[in-house]
Amino acid sequence: MSDHAALVASLQQEVPGATVEAAPTVDLQTTIYASRDDVPAVARALRDRPELRYSLLAELTAVDYHPREPRFELVYLLVSLEHRHRLRLKVRLPGNDARVQTVTAVWPAANWLEREVWDLFGIVFDGHPDPRRLLMPEDWDGFPLRKDYPVQIKMTPRASEPLQVTEQEFKANLERDRLTRS
Amino acid sequence: MPEIRTETMTVNMGPQHPSTHGVLRIVLELDGETVVSASPTIGYLHTGIEKTTEQKKWQQVIPLVERMDYLSAQSNSMAFCLSVEQLLGIDVPERVRNIRILIAELQRINSHLVWLGTHGMEVGAISVMLYCFRERELLLNINEMLAGFRMFPSYMRIGGLREDLPRGFHDAVRAFLDRLPGKLDEYEDLLSQNEIYLKRTQGVGVISKEDAVAYGLVGPIARAAGVDYDVRRYFPYLGYDTYEFSVPVQTRGDVYARYQVRLAEMRESLKICRQALDRISPTGPFAIDDPRITPPPKDRVYTEMEALIQHFLIYSQGFTVPAGEAYVPVEGPRGEHGFSVVSDGTNRPWRIKSRAPSLLACQALERMIVGGLIADVIAVIGSIDVVMGDVDR
């Protein structure tokens, strides 16, 4: 399936009305662009069609092309173990509405990878089972891998809130704890 | 008499737990000794290397990527160089390809020795750790000889290697290759038939073939579950298709199978190393002959004006890489890894993304430990060989 045209035709047969276009590459991976509304259907077709069988999601990441529009590109690197092929599936996302459907139902491996993309790029994955930050602290502001995120600027250090108990309360708590245990 | 109330207990394992290979934190819910649920928390070692690389010139990225997965430093820098070379459209000399293969395989043995030592120690076989680190010391000595640095040699360069092989390199490597097979037998004597080790590892942390693929697991974990995916075979790079070696595969997918796969892999790596060493001449080209990328030799810098200018240009403004995107997968000690590199045509990377096999292994951890005993959690974490520097980057 290294043939671009056959791949695109095969996808359009499975997902009618899908806009899939081929793109040139310098490396091993055939590259195709899909529009973001088709992502779950295209993903399922890529995994399930017998002549494709891209069962391994090797990588899911994003690139920020700020200030160009559409600003973000999602990159899915897929491997077909059966046919020994690699594919790069790309999705363009606009900067003011960076959201896409999750593919965790197709490839469970996408769970943490999508969380990482949300964490570092602020791209929303609709329907994600656990949409929390992955690498940064949960109360972090901003998305570090965006190109307009400030770098090498001194930020004021923040400490987490101290525990709001008085000394007496603290001792009483200790005492009560000790009583229940014995 | 009041009714006995039972409830599950939540235990916080980590982040400073000696057996989590860094700073991995797992919140475990226990019912007695059985794990009911587990949620790994990562990010304690997140240093933003991917963001930092965007401020660096292409050559300056190499020491940074070596510090991501600190047990397979040379494999990382090799993967990065391959991706950038793909974008540049250059092909390194054959001697460089063979040296890179040799170094990558030595790195694999190095990483597996650390894994075997720490994993053995965690399940109670402390002597294995001492033996493994004894042999690993020899590999670190080879690194020191090669580049003057033991853990992160930064010996790879875009377009080749930093300098030629040092005198005595062949003898040092050959001495190691002759020594290791007997030592591997010793390790196997200590573990393979060891009743305690078998009880702690067989049938523990099982993951099925289908799950391994679905969760993006690659490398020894997947091969222990019956997925024969090895990048060196499926998508050969650097001429691996001209080497003779086999890919060890097991089917049970438990901790013991992973142990067997990794030990067999070390023996296969030894085979590749021997073949590579025979092909490498003691002296010869060590980088591509391209004045844009490779700095001139020092004696010419000191005597020729043009060479001095070229040297100055390469070290001050670097070189530009054509706009585009490339990803060359390589088989590292923990499975497929590589660098997804995006260039906008300038002398600094636009975006670099490391494919981290440890991250996906960490994600699948929950699947392997839920339903098992808490004592087995440590054995499973050890067996998937996570490097937190690779998980958090």
Is B6 a residue whose pLDDT tops 60? yes
Nearest to B326 among A26, A109, A120 (CB): A26
Cα separation, B151 vs B9, in Å, equals: 41
> What pLDDT does B98 receive?
92
CA angle A27, A29, A34 (to 5 degrees): 130
- Domain spans in chain A, listed from the N-terminal domain onward: 4-149
Is A181 a residue whose pLDDT tops 50? no
Structure tokens at B231: 């990048």
B9's torsion region: left (phi>0), alpha (psi -120 to 50) or beta? beta
Residue type, B305: M
**DSSP summary character for residue B21:** S
pLDDT (mean) for A58-83:
88
pLDDT more than 70, % of chain B = 98
ipTM of the complex: 0.84
Nearest to A108 among B43, B215, B328 (CB): B215
pLDDT (mean) for B192-207:
86
Q: How far away is chain B from the Cα of A89, in angstroms, using its nearest Cα?
A: 13
The whole-model pTM stands at 0.87
Would you state the torsion angle of the CA atoms of residues B147, B151, B156, B161, taken in this order, to the nearest 10 degrees?
Answer: 20
pLDDT (mean) for A43-58:
85
> What pLDDT does B104 receive?
92
- Residues sharing a CB contact under 8 Å with residue A85, sequence separation 6 or more, in sequence order: A1, A2, A30, A54, A79
> Residue B31: pLDDT band by 50, 70, 90 thresholds?
confident
Q: How far away is chain B from the Cα of A144, in angstroms, using its nearest Cα?
A: 8
Contact A81 B234 (CB under 8 A): yes
Backbone angles phi, psi at A61, to 5 degrees: -150, 180
Contacts with A144 from chain B: Cβ below 8 Å? 48, 51
> What pLDDT does A182 receive?
40
User: Which of these, B209, B207, B203, lies nearest to B229 by C-alpha position?
Assistant: B209
Containing A39, the helix (H) or strand (E) segment is helix A39-48
Class of domain A4-149: alpha beta
Total count of residues recorded for chain B: 393
pLDDT per position as a tens digit, B350-383: 899 999 898 998 888 888 888 888 888 888 888 8
> Residue A21: pLDDT band by 50, 70, 90 thresholds?
confident
Instruction: For each of the domains in chain B, give its residue range(s) and CATH number, in order of start.
Output: 9-392 (1.10.645.10)
Is B234 a residue whose pLDDT tops 50? yes
User: Which of these, B140, B106, B136, B60, lies nearest to B276 by C-alpha position?
Assistant: B106
pLDDT more than 70, % of chain A = 85
Is B12 a residue whose pLDDT tops 60? yes
> What pLDDT does A157 receive?
66
pLDDT more than 90, % of chain B = 24
Whether the CB of B24 is below 8 Å from some CB of chain A: the reply is no
For the ranges A170-174, B12-16, B70-74, B157-161, which has the lowest average pLDDT? A170-174
Alpha-carbon separation of residue B239 from B99, B101, B173, B269, B276 (angstroms) = 11, 9, 21, 15, 11
Cα separation, B343 vs B302, in Å, equals: 33
> What pLDDT does B191 receive?
86
Contacts with A58 from chain B: Cβ below 8 Å? 216, 218, 329, 336, 355
Average pLDDT of chain A, as a whole number:
81
Alpha-carbon separation of residue B229 from B80, B216, B363 (angstroms) = 21, 11, 19
pLDDT per position as a tens digit, A137-153: 888 888 888 888 877 66
The residues that bridge with B9 in the sheet, in sequence order, are: B30
For the ranges A5-9, B30-34, B162-166, B330-334, which has the lowest average pLDDT? A5-9
CB A61 within 8 Å of CB A3: no
Is B77 a residue whose pLDDT tops 50? yes
Computed from CA positions of residues B152, B182, B221, B123, in that sequence, does the dihedral angle turn out positive or negative? negative
pLDDT per position as a tens digit, A110-119: 999 999 999 8
- Best mutation target, B339, B340, B362, to test chain A (most A CBs within 10 A): B340
pLDDT (mean) for B320-339:
89
Is B109 a residue whose pLDDT tops 90? yes
Whether the CB of B373 is below 8 Å from some CB of chain A: the reply is no
Structure tokens at B277: 């060493």
How does DSSP assign A107-154, residue by residue?
-TTHHHHHHHHHHHH--EEET-S----SSS-TT--S-TTSTTS--S--
- Going by their DSSP bridges, the two strands B335-343 and B9-13 should be labelled as unpaired
CB B320 within 8 Å of CB B353: no
Q: Taking each helix axis from N to C terminus, what angle separates B357-369 and B374-384, rounded to the nearest 10 degrees?
A: 160
pLDDT per position as a tens digit, B275-295: 999 999 888 888 888 888 888
Helices (H), chain B: 49-53, 61-66, 73-88, 94-122, 126-147, 169-191, 195-201, 209-214, 219-224, 231-234, 255-279, 298-303, 305-316, 357-369, 374-384, 388-392
- Residues sharing a CB contact under 8 Å with residue B153, sequence separation 6 or more, in sequence order: B66, B73, B74, B143, B146, B147
Contact A84 B229 (CB under 8 A): no
Contacts with B213 from chain A: Cβ below 8 Å? 55-56, 81
> Residue B269: pLDDT band by 50, 70, 90 thresholds?
very high
- Going by their DSSP bridges, the two strands A56-64 and A72-80 should be labelled as antiparallel
Contact A59 B50 (CB under 8 A): no
Contacts with B353 from chain A: Cβ below 8 Å? 59, 61, 75
Cα separation, A117 vs B60, in Å, equals: 25
